[in-house]
Amino acid sequence: MVKSSNSKPRLPGALFSAIETELSQQPGGIKEYDLIQALQGHGYFESSAKSPMPPHDLFHIHFMLFHALYLLRDRLLQEKQSWLEISPLKIQLHPYLEGKEALTTGDKLRAYYLDLNHIDNTTEDDVCELIASFWNKLSKCDKRDDALQTLGLKDPIDDITIKQAYRRLAMEHHPDRGGDKERLQAINTAINILLD
């Protein structure tokens, strides 16, 4: 990465060519991690000598890659060449379709990654907080899946259906009706997770 005269990071044009080359070789898309690995083979996003890499360094690589991807997507749309799908799990070039340009106007992630102040102002503590928040959300998703399974349900589902299943199972498994106390506790825990 090179600093420009206004002290904001500037990415070399060859990086965009390397990204396009890698994406064109992956018609089904590529994960962020795999794209970073491929670009490191071209001399970009050098990995740290430390293993594991410090979270702040990982954030820096992630941010600059996504900054480059959003800039590339804007250019490809402007030139009406292709549509670039961007997410950590799938980065993929698609044929250009009229109207895709309108989809980028309210894109909060695009606005975030194109604002280089975020990379300058994000501290190591901020990165650790982001990581903790991610794991907390992931844990809630796992708990939701388990809770739905306890009630014999699957997403997508609404609160009314959840409450109906809870009432039916609570009545069925209540100890006063010959049910199992532990099963009722599991049902109560499930409803608390789902309606929290």
Distance separating alpha carbons of residues 138 and 140, to the nearest angstrom: 5
pTM above 0.85, yes or no: no
CATH number of 129-194: 1.10.287.110
User: What pLDDT is stored for residue 49 in this prediction?
Assistant: 55
Instruction: Give the 3-state secondary structure of residue 84.
Output: strand
Each residue's pLDDT tens digit, 67-77: 999 999 999 99
Quote the percentage of the chain above a pLDDT of 90: 47
The yes-or-no verdict on residue 39 having pLDDT over 90 is: yes
Over range 6-11, report the average pLDDT.
56
Which tokens go with 69? 């991807």
Orientation of helix 13-24 relative to helix 32-40, angle to 10°: 120
Which tokens go with 65? 């890659």
Each residue's pLDDT tens digit, 128-174: 888 888 777 777 777 888 889 999 999 888 899 999 999 999 999 98
Report CA-CA distances (Å) from 23 to 68, 92, 104.
13, 6, 20
